[in-house]
Structure formats: C-alpha cells, structure tokens
Amino acid sequence: MPKEPTPAIRLCDGDLEAFIQPEQGGRVLGFHGDTFWPSPQERFDWPPPAILDEDPYTVIQATGKSATIQSARDEPFGFQLEKHFEVKGNAIHFTFRLTNIWDRPQYVAPWQVTRAPREGKRHPSATPTIVGTGK
C-alpha cells in the first residue's frame, strides 16, 4: 500500500499565513519558488541533488508558528539538510542546517533561492496560499 502524502504544514501569526510542503522538498507554497542548494553549483552541475531540492522531507516538529523538516541523507553528495521555518509578525524566517555526513571535510557555501512578488503576496490558482502584505 503506498504511503499517504504528508499534508502541507500551516504556519500562522496574525494576518500572515504560510504553508510548507514537506512532500515537495520543503517548499513554501505560494511563493514562485523557494529552495536551498549547496554551492558552488559546479559541484552538482544541473539540476541540484533531488534529495536536497525536491524529494520528500520528514517532519521533525510542527507547531502553529514554526516547523522543522529534514531531508533524507544524500550519500553520493555527502549532505543532509534540515529546514526550519517560523512566522513572526509580518515575516517568514528561514534557518537551514546543512550537515556533512561524510568523514572528510567538504567546502561549500549556502545558497538560498527565494522568489516572491514585490507586493508580498501571491494568489496561485491552487490552494493553499500565502496571504498578508508584509506592511
């Protein structure tokens, strides 16, 4: 029997509401795209490692205002990624922890890619959505 997909995690503080989708690489729904990649890009060419970018994440904790999710171990690339999201006031705070799972040093830098409209909200055709203007 196939595993049921993990539902989106709803985070809310006042008028700001965000939905995190663990099944889609831990992306924030409603943004044009949000992800974290290790850099330099020459390490992975293109596309980025699916385990870190788009594969399902495990929910470590989720409350009304924060959530922490974790990728599977990417043995060929040598990393595991943890993403923490928190809504506070009129902002979504992101914290990422990239863990080296190899027994030797690796030299990388964080590369967060977030794209959102200038006005601070997006209403895609599918629900759920991100609401609030950030003003």
The mean pLDDT of 108-122, rounded to a whole number, is 71
Peptide bond preceding 40 in cis form (omega within 30 of 0): yes
First to last CA, the chain: 46
Render pLDDT for 26-48 as a digit per residue (tens, 0 to 9): 988 876 667 888 888 888 878 88
Render pLDDT for 4-16 as a digit per residue (tens, 0 to 9): 667 899 999 998 8
Amino acid 125: pLDDT: 36
HSE-CB for 95 with a 13 A CA cutoff: 7
Residue 38 three-state SS? strand
As a whole-number percent, the residues of the chain with pLDDT over 90 amount to: 45
Amino acid 118: pLDDT: 67
